[in-house]
Amino acid sequence: MPILEVIALTAKDAEAAQAGGADRLELVADMASDGLTPSTATFKEVLKAVDIPVRVMLRDAPGFAPGNLKQLRRQAWELREAGATEFVLGFLDAENEIDEGVTLNLLAELEGCAWTFHRALDNSNDVFRSWATVQTLGCDTVLAAGAKTGVKDGIENLKKLVSQGPPALLVGGGLQQHHLPELLAAGVNGFHVGSAVRPGGWDSAVDSASVREWVNRLV
């Protein structure tokens, strides 16, 4: 059964996503930086507002290297203390290869948690080589568009990657409804949206009717 994950910035977003039928949330802050770690206070508000799973972003700087790994580990610990059990993370090294060392360092705070390796994969030198590396790290999901520039350019790669799981492929990054038939036919059953369910773009909140429209197209 296909699942729809919706990016939430606030408890209001989370409520609208759940009302529209979303299966899971990705909770982030600061989409101007492509999504950073939210505050523990915001996470607590979201946790009270909804009862669908919430995956929390662990990323403290634009790009795909940590700004301050020690501080990021502290944030991960604080979020776990607040009740977080699912996360989103992933890092590249200076050569744009998967940074296993940094990723594993942060994962030391997340024992027993489910997690997604995010679109760092799309920004690596080779998405297929990187996928093989990520398979060894313990995530249950990889969020990918198949290309740096988004699903429109990565769809052929995505159709190949979906057959190479586990982990499960979650498609996001410029995903549009017209991409769904081709991806569903290829066996993709995880979809991730952000601005596509915000009629006014990132300056507006999640719209439950827009979420419902996506859900209906996945039935």
- Written in H, E and C, the secondary structure of the chain is CCEEEEEECCHHHHHHHHHHCCCEEEECECHHHCCECCCHHHHHHHHHHCCCCEEEECCCCCCCCCCCHHHHHHHHHHHHHCCCCEEEECCECCCCCECHHHHHHHHCCCCCCEEEECHHHHHCCCHHHHHHHHCCCCCCEEEECCCCCCHHHHHHHHHHHHHHCCCEEEECCCCCHHHHHHHHHHCCCEEEECHHHCCCHHHCCCCHHHHHHHHHHHC
Q: State the pLDDT confidence band at 171, using cuts at 50, 70 and 90.
A: very high
pLDDT at 68: 97
How far apart CA 112 and CA 80 sit, in angstroms, is 11
Cα(110)–Cα(174) distance, rounded to whole angstroms?
Answer: 29
pLDDT at 180: 98
Q: Which CATH class is domain 3-218?
A: alpha beta
Per-residue pLDDT, averaged over 152-174, amounts to 96
Q: What is the pLDDT of residue 141?
A: 98
Q: Is the pLDDT of residue 104 over 90?
A: yes
Confidence of residue 112 (pLDDT cuts 50, 70, 90): very high
Arithmetic mean of pLDDT over the chain: 97
Which tens digits make up the pLDDT trace of 16-45?
Answer: 999 999 999 999 999 989 999 999 999 999
165 falls in which pLDDT band (50, 70, 90)?
Answer: confident
The alpha carbon of residue 107 and the mean position of all alpha carbons in its chain are separated, in whole angstroms, by 16
Measured CA to CA in angstroms, residue 24 lies from 98, 162, 165 at distances of 26, 20, 20
What pLDDT, in 10s, does the model give residues 188-219? 999 999 999 999 999 999 999 999 999 999 98
The pLDDT of residue 61 is 95
How much is the average pLDDT of 63-68?
A: 95
pLDDT at 136: 96
- Position 219 scores a pLDDT of 84
Res 156: pLDDT? 97
List the chain domain ranges.
Answer: 3-218
Q: Are 94 and 63 in contact (CB under 8 A)?
A: no
Residue 26 — φ and ψ, nearest 5°?
-110, 115
Percent of the chain predicted with pLDDT > 90: 97
